[in-house]
Structure 1
């Protein structure tokens, strides 16, 4: 899909509100062109403006030289952001920002939430939306805010899981398994957010180097520095949440081990209770010719009494030792 935006009375106004932009639409007056899973015809329409659209394979290259470079008066910056696939799965995928003097072009193959919320709030960002550079910085600000929201959500989830696991109440093994799975998902999310912050920091550092000849470079550079500080703070927060994830995993696994130990102890005690009666029954089950108790009328009740007494005695001993 191809979406084109220009500044409106409030935020950014999408050109062609009725439907996504078609390749034949007028794109010259758009300050921001957003390509989401672009068709070949849509990529060609943007290429007609003098902007080469990178392929997904190009965007997935991990070398810095392939993610941050300048080509034909256009700065190309690729970051990795968490988002949704068309079928709703959570992934981290590359997003390319192609910045020229006249417009910003973004290319993505998944759906980070920030791209949906930014147009209506573009004019409220610190940079505004009067130029391509300001739209870029405003979009980066929205993305950083989204990562902060994700980290706060992780913190709330870990609070809930920790309160459940460490409440001192009896928790079933299935509930502990669900808690462990939830903590694992939150750990994966923290990892995706930290990767996004790392790539955003690199992109902003690259953009800051291009502001030397910009007439508004001093003002834009102060915004970049503010965003870099935000990224640094969120990185520290992400490290803190990573340690909390590890603690939650250890606590949950510890509770699972305790529950398993209780089960094993019960089985061991039950087996120990039946050991003396089994030994007595085994003795009188032997086929020796001379066993005087077999000929006595009190032999059978005596054997039953001995088995019952040995089981009760074993149980009393375990109770005295506080093993039950």
Structure 2
């Protein structure tokens, strides 16, 4: 899928598929088809494959080819089957246009064209479109982190309800949600790390561009936002760890209570079992075997021993 945009009255207007790509300021490629890759090659842009984008070496993620800056980051988004994931996104910045290549769907790529006029910089040049898109991405990551904070609040409320102890189902559900939020937070932190690295690389080339002063100020502002979000991510990580420990602790308490109840029940039957075992040995010389009240006496001893054990456990507050 290919979407091409041109600036118009402060917004980004999508070009019709029949129009040529030469006048496009931003071209967004989502799971590009061979004919779309060929169209980009006609413009002098070699579209990297997914395998190239997934290379972890820094030299393969941030490099320059002639006048084309190629920068790859890892962003959270949705897969083709609408499942949460983190995948690589490549920004190819040239003096004529910005080209982005992705194989999953981060939400900022859908929302930025309609909100380009709200960016700190306008969308009159490829560099400004690039920084505006990065600003939209950072804002989206901040929104996701706020959602994680609200989710952790709900998890804490379910683990420590005001009306009484949490049920086993609520604790298991809380543990499942904690795991999902922790995984999302790890994807967000990876995205912040790679964006920070990309902006640091881009900042080294600002002096070669015509609008260096405004671009440098925008880069510094976004770097400060990323650093602040990093501190917030550390705070959320601590909250998630505390919620995990609290949930596991409550589950252990419930399990311990169940084991204690079973242990007490087993202990109540120990004295009756001892009495029944003694009278079940069937030795020839056992005077109780000839007593008319021998059987009721044995039953009474077993009941009495169980009652005395129960009273003792109650006195010791083990029940």
Deviation track 1:1-52 (CA, whole Å, cap 9, x = no partner) reads: 0000011235211112xxxx3xx64001110000000001101101111111
For residues 97-108 of structure 1, what are the structure 2 equivalents within 5 Å?
A: 97-108=91-102
Task: Structure 2: state its 5+ residue gaps.
Answer: none
Q: Distance in 2 between matches of 1:42 and 1:72?
A: 22
Which residue of structure 2 lines up, in the alignment, with residue 7 of structure 1?
7
Deviation track 1:57-76 (CA, whole Å, cap 9, x = no partner) reads: 11000011110011020101
Aligned match of 2:260 in 256, 262, 265?
265
1:29 and 2:23 equivalent?
Answer: yes
Which residue of structure 2 lines up, in the alignment, with residue 219 of structure 1?
214
Contact 2:74 2:194 in 1 (8 A): yes
SS in 1 for 2:105: coil
Which residue of structure 1 lines up, in the alignment, with residue 275 of structure 2?
280
Aligned match of 1:202 in 197, 205, 208?
197
Deviation track 1:112-154 (CA, whole Å, cap 9, x = no partner) reads: 0110110000011001211111100000000000000111111
Which residue of structure 1 lines up, in the alignment, with residue 114 of structure 2?
120
Aligned match of 2:177 in 182, 188, 207?
182
Aligned match of 2:86 in 87, 92, 114?
92
Contact 2:75 2:86 in 1 (8 A): yes
Q: Distance in 1 between matches of 2:8 and 2:250?
A: 56
Kindly report the root-mean-square deviation, in angstroms, between the aligned alpha carbons of the 2 structures. 1.1
SS in 2 for 1:212: helix
Deviation track 1:244-271 (CA, whole Å, cap 9, x = no partner) reads: 1111111111111111101100100000
Contact 2:10 2:123 in 1 (8 A): no
Which residue of structure 1 lines up, in the alignment, with residue 298 of structure 2?
303
Aligned match of 2:156 in 144, 159, 162?
162
Q: Distance in 2 between matches of 1:122 and 1:69?
A: 27
Which residue of structure 2 lines up, in the alignment, with residue 147 of structure 1?
141
Contact 2:160 2:166 in 1 (8 A): no
Q: Distance in 2 between matches of 1:11 and 1:246?
A: 43
Q: Distance in 2 between matches of 1:165 and 1:298?
A: 57
Q: Which runs of 4+ in 1 moved over 6 A?
A: none
* TM-score after normalising by structure 2: 0.97
Contact 1:75 1:99 in 2 (8 A): yes
Q: Distance in 1 between matches of 2:111 and 2:308?
A: 72
SS in 1 for 2:318: coil
Task: Structure 1: state its 5+ residue gaps.
Answer: none
Contact 2:158 2:171 in 1 (8 A): no
Give, in angstroms, the shift of residue 239 of structure 1. Answer: 1.0
Give, in angstroms, the shift of residue 215 of structure 1. Answer: 2.2
Contact 1:10 1:120 in 2 (8 A): no
Contact 1:158 1:244 in 2 (8 A): yes
Aligned match of 2:32 in 38, 51, 57?
38
Q: Distance in 2 between matches of 1:215 and 1:173?
A: 63
SS in 2 for 1:92: strand
